[in-house]
Amino acid sequence: MTADDSYSRLDDDDYPAYTMGRAAAMLGTTQGFLRAIGEARLITPLRSEGGHRRYSRYQLRIAARARELVDQGTPIEAACRIVILEDQLEEAQRINAEHRRTTESANPTAAA
């Protein structure tokens, strides 16, 4: 891997660049919180060769949303389920919009 390859990964939202300690500090939470949302299967951190948890920016955004809900008084299991459903809804809306664009471009008179 060249230096250019490792720098390009910094732009990858799915690249597991953050250690558990760094992730917890960035979120302003504890490592126990990250373990708890992992146990609730909200996020599954990758493991380094040494077995340490590593988190991506995408996972940190998901964890931040869960923390926001927990801070508002939502139990952690419920917060995790809400975040999963929000993520699924966003994906479904993206797919529907893409399907609509494809359909409209294939049949422009139907859109009128």
Q: What is the pLDDT of residue 14?
A: 86
> Does residue 112 carry a pLDDT above 60?
no
Higher pLDDT, 8 or 102: 102
- 2: pLDDT strictly greater than 90: no
Name the band, by pLDDT with cuts 50, 70 and 90, for residue 7: low
Tell me the mean pLDDT in the region 16-45.
95
Tokens of 32: 């126990």
